[in-house]
Amino acid sequence: EPEVTQTPSHQVTQMGQEVILRCVPISNHLYFYWYRQILGQKVEFLVSFYNNEISEKSEIFDDQFSVERPDGSNFTLKIRSTKLEDSAMYFCASRWRELNEKLFFGSGTQLSVL
């Protein structure tokens, strides 16, 4: 079965530094998402992306966050100035069509902000 690929699997950074989390969605998918999960807590929606623009974003996705699909295959999440509370597992997901298609998730990037 096709897979969503995320790199790196672990990222350690200093507070205030910029990080870019990378994802390669499934090739014919059209809708892309970032979710995060703080250790021991619920999965939280961050942002959805379609047709090269943000479709919807949560309150978590503030000005420090941005997403980009730079080359038609990669989908990136950038955090400009990381905070301690950004430490979490970040999951990328993709979907082919909108209505009731299942989401395919990557295995995540564990971000640790020191």
Partner 1 sequence: DAKTTQPNSMESNEEEPVHLPCNHSTISGTDYIHWYRQLPSQGPEYVIHGLTSNVNNRMASLAIAEDRKSSTLILHRATLRDAAVYYCIRYSGGNYQLIWGAGTKLIIKP
Q: Which residues bind partner 1 (CB under 8 A)?
A: 4, 31, 33, 42-45, 48, 50, 55-56, 58, 91, 93, 98-100, 102-108
Task: State in angstroms the smallest separation of the CB of 15 from partner 1.
Answer: 25
Decide whether 79 or 93 has the Cβ nearer to partner 1.
93
Strands (E), the chain: 5-7, 10-13, 19-24, 31-37, 43-50, 53-57, 65-68, 75-79, 88-95, 104-105, 109-113
Decide whether 84 or 102 has the Cβ nearer to partner 1.
102
SS3 at position 23: strand
Decide whether 42 or 52 has the Cβ nearer to partner 1.
42
